[in-house]
Amino acid sequence: MRTSIEECVDLHGHTPLDQAFYPDRLLDVRCDPVRLVRKVDIVGNGASGSGRNAPPYSTLSYCWGSESEAQGQLKTTTATFPERLSGIKFEQMPPVLQDAVSLTRRLSIPYLWIDALCILQDPDDSTDWEKQSSVMNKIYGNSLVTLAAISSSSCQQHFCHRDKRIVRVQFKSDLCEDISGVIEIRFNQSTISSPYGFGSAHGVLRQSRWRSRGWTFPESYASTRLLALSMSDAFLICPSGLQYSGKPGGFLTDFNSCLGNIAWYIKDPEYFNEHWLRLATTYSQHAGADAFTQPTDALPAISGIARLFSSYLRQRPGDYLAGLWRRYMLHGLMWTRRRIYEQPKGLRDYITVVPSRQCGEYVCPSWSWIGKDVAAFGYNYGIYDHRPACRSLDGEVQQKGTQPYGKINSAVLLFHGNLAALPFNLERDDSFSSFRTQCRPWIMRPCGTSPRDHVTNYKWEFELDWVPPPEWSGDSELRMALLGSYTYNEDPESDEGSSEAEESESMEESGVEDSEGSEPEQDNTNRADSSGEDDNENNQWFWGLLLYEVGPTTIQEEHGYVRVGIFRSCTRQIQPKDEAIRYFEEFGEVTQIKIF
């Protein structure tokens, strides 16, 4: 694989994102024993003390394992730092670290970066951990290659020891006596749910414990090239393609398309928000509730990527709100959960962890997608022309520590909008064609109406953030908060977005006056004649958040709401927009809304 890496460097032109960056600490694997070295000892001080002409290094991406397995991990702390500078005996290292050192040596790479040894892991002082996690994208993005221990599920397992599982069968042709030899048959471990099998690059990567670990997504996302080692083979993956045991092996869409993608995304600011939401969707599906040993790592894991997006697109650190961007807050709130295999639970059981308080620490607010295993944001529905139906939509986040993109202590979403009770029961939409009941949206229908009359009787469909028990049909504390509208347009290039006048009109129709109390001016232009937007007006659908009311006696110290779902006007029946607004005029009130 060393030759393949060299060819990739020489021929593919994958330039590191920040060539001036170099890690603060690395392991010098040329020494015996291996020892920890500081950047200043490698590249010196001053202008020359950067990564432009510094020697290459590899990075390790792996699973720490369960809490008990991680306790046996070899770590560097402030107390052990001088000892690590003197040397680290090979036999002290757990198996996964031993393999990483041996492989880096075989690849003739002088230095290696491993989080457990290159970050100070002090239990009572996270200062260095916060600093290093905020530049994790640069650490992996500037390494020569990232070693992915995909065949190991913990730091206590080797990942370079191969299990070929090959049977050799003697063969002699009945048609031609001169043809004979040995046929090698390798067990592929394919199943109905994994047709590629564990022996292929697709199967190995998708079925590995490594891929379900929360930190591995930002590590691989930032990497220029990835060397993945399974029990049967080795795969070199870069944005240009896949090499299987040193031979061309095609293209892995799920992996090739994400490697080095940061550099491509930041060069295309016009679609900044769409790029971020695509990243968020992929990350959330890799980083669900069980993806981190410490759930509070969910925000720090992508802090480096968030910082990069922010710096290149001139967003202020304060514009980043628990995984969402203030400028694109309306669209960022429009996410739905993927919860096909989640066990049913009562609504009150669900809100005990919303806002997420796991391991006794605050993780994220209910309105953030962080830690929620998101299925999709609005762009997956082919929707454009977002228009607000509320006023002063904003968020407040209290940071924990010094890193503006890392852990938080609390967060709240605030806006002035239309809030309505849920007057009717909810039930599954049986007309929705899905063999999985949990995939069917919920609908609101007046009691006593026939299922066949649903087209004329219900106006909204709901996607819940949790899976309720079969007998559940609603709750008296549920509220609907109208947030905005959108247009379905199969040709997004023809939709130039909404003007300020159009936004004001949308807010007025929803019953929300402007902050000065005066009514906004009407947009009296003839859209059919001037811009051809009359079709878009007929295609205008409204949406908002389904909320659960909480107070000082429940999970918060003050009155407010938590998000428990999303609703939108029915997508299988285009309704006049005044019908949607009339619902809130009848059942709702304009008020200040606070969501925890």
Q: What is the pLDDT of residues 328-377, one digit of tens each?
A: 899 899 888 876 567 778 888 777 766 555 556 788 899 999 877 766 66
Do 334 and 444 belong together in one domain?
yes
Distance, CA of 555 to CA of 550 (rounded, Å): 7
Do 206 and 335 belong together in one domain?
no
**Model's pTM, two decimal places?**
0.78
| Helices 303-312 & 272-286 angle (0-180, nearest 10) | 180
Long-range contacts of 443-449 (CB under 8 A, 24+ apart): 443/570
Distance of CA 39 to the CA centre of its chain: 31
Contacts of 501 (CB under 8 A, 6+ apart): 520, 521, 522, 523
Which one is predicted more confidently, 144 or 248? 144
206, 227, 258 — which closes off a domain? 258
The model's pLDDT over 18-70, given as tens digits with 9 standing for 90+, comes to: 778 999 999 999 999 999 999 999 987 554 455 667 899 999 999 888 888 88
Do 292 and 234 belong together in one domain?
no
**What is the average per-residue pLDDT within 561-573?**
77
Do 389 and 495 belong together in one domain?
yes
Do 219 and 348 belong together in one domain?
no
At residue 54, the pLDDT reads 86
| Full residue range of the structural domain in which residue 424 is found | 266-515+530-595
Query: CA-based diameter of the chain, in Å?
Result: 96
Distance, CA of 265 to CA of 224 (rounded, Å): 14
Contacts of 37 (CB under 8 A, 6+ apart): 25, 26, 27, 28, 85, 111
408, pLDDT greater than 70: yes
Q: Are 90 and 98 in contact (CB under 8 A)?
A: yes
- Which residues are bridge partners to 320 per DSSP? 325
Q: Is residue 186 part of a domain?
A: no
Do 273 and 313 belong together in one domain?
yes
Do 483 and 357 belong together in one domain?
yes
DSSP string computed for 193-254: S-TT-TTSHHHHHHH-TGGGSTTHHHHHHH-S-EEEE-SS-EEEEETTEEEETTEE----HH
**What is the average per-residue pLDDT within 558-585?**
73
Per-residue pLDDT band at 92 (split at 50, 70, 90): very high
Please report the beta strands in 429-507, taking only residues with DSSP state E, as ranges in sequence order. 442-445, 460-464, 478-488
Q: Is residue 475 part of a domain?
A: yes
> pLDDT averaged over the chain?
76
Which one is predicted more confidently, 422 or 250? 422
- Which residues are bridge partners to 38 per DSSP? 25
Do 343 and 240 belong together in one domain?
no
Beta 247-248 vs 241-244: how paired, if at all? antiparallel
Distance of CA 399 to the CA centre of its chain: 20
Q: Is residue 243 part of a domain?
A: yes
395, pLDDT greater than 80: yes
Do 242 and 331 belong together in one domain?
no
Do 237 and 342 belong together in one domain?
no
Do 357 and 467 belong together in one domain?
yes
Domain count, the chain: 2
Q: Are 591 and 390 in contact (CB under 8 A)?
A: no
Do 235 and 359 belong together in one domain?
no
- Which residues are bridge partners to 197 per DSSP? none
